[in-house]
Amino acid sequence: MEENKDQNPELPQEGADDETLSHEDTQKVFDEISDSTIDPRDEEIISLKKQLDEYKDKHLRLYADFDNFKKRNAKERLELILTAGKDVIMELLPIIDDFERALKSAETTKDVEAVKEGMNLIYQKLVRNMEAKGLKAIEAKGKDFNVEQHEAITEIPAPTPDMVGKVIDEVEKGYYLNDKLIRFAKVVVGK
């Protein structure tokens, strides 16, 4: 037994103050073991473990990247929602200003026609701005009743036989926004 201890001084010896090998000492021991003593299956296992560690690392990095992407996307979506109407509101501000001026003018003027003309101009400006943003009114009066565009409030006797099933009056306009229905037209239908 004494001969074995003397042959490999790098190996821990029995009765040696229970010291553990340092990393460098451990590496030296592994280096001294010849490749012929390692079973080829062990090499394959070691190789597969290295691959597994690499895949785990790639997975964790990919997961972290995806998590960061989700957080960034949620933040951008929230910012978009909060500022989505900003451009529309910015274009409505001059119209509000026009309304304020018209109301101030209506207090002092006695010319009703001038007030009507001013209100009509403001209305036209508002309609043009909304159309530029993709808003389109549904033309309903005199058209056939269409459940995909109209909401019947009531039915009344048709004034003429050709008005049966058609829209006689429009209580509230319906609108499309970029070819998507956003509000049904509330109508009166002839029966």
Q: What is the pLDDT of residue 30?
A: 57
Q: What is the pLDDT of residue 89?
A: 86
For the stretch 36-73, pLDDT in tens is 566 767 888 888 999 999 999 999 999 999 999 999 99
What mean pLDDT value characterizes the chain? 83
**15: confidence class by pLDDT, cuts 50, 70, 90:** very low
- The C-alpha atoms of residue 28 and residue 12 are separated, in whole angstroms, by 13
Give just the sign of the alpha carbon dihedral 153, 154, 158, 161.
positive
Where does the chain have alpha helices with state H? Answer: 2-7, 23-32, 40-83, 86-108, 112-132
Q: What is the mean pLDDT of residues 13-25?
A: 54
For the stretch 93-136, pLDDT in tens is 999 999 898 888 888 888 888 888 989 999 999 999 999 989 99
Q: What is the pLDDT of residue 44?
A: 87
- The C-alpha atoms of residue 123 and residue 119 are separated, in whole angstroms, by 6
Bridge partner residues of 169 (DSSP): 188
Superfamily (CATH) of domain 135-191: Head domain of nucleotide exchange factor GrpE (2.30.22.10)
Q: What is the pLDDT of residue 22?
A: 66
**2: confidence class by pLDDT, cuts 50, 70, 90:** very low
Q: Which of 149, 157, 148 is nearest to 189 (CA)?
A: 157
Structural domain spans, the chain: 135-191
pTM of the model: 0.54
Q: How is residue 42 written in tokens?
A: 């062990």
Strand arrangement of the beta sheet that strand 150-156 belongs to: 150-156, 185-190, 167-172
Does the pLDDT value for residue 144 go beyond 60?
Answer: yes
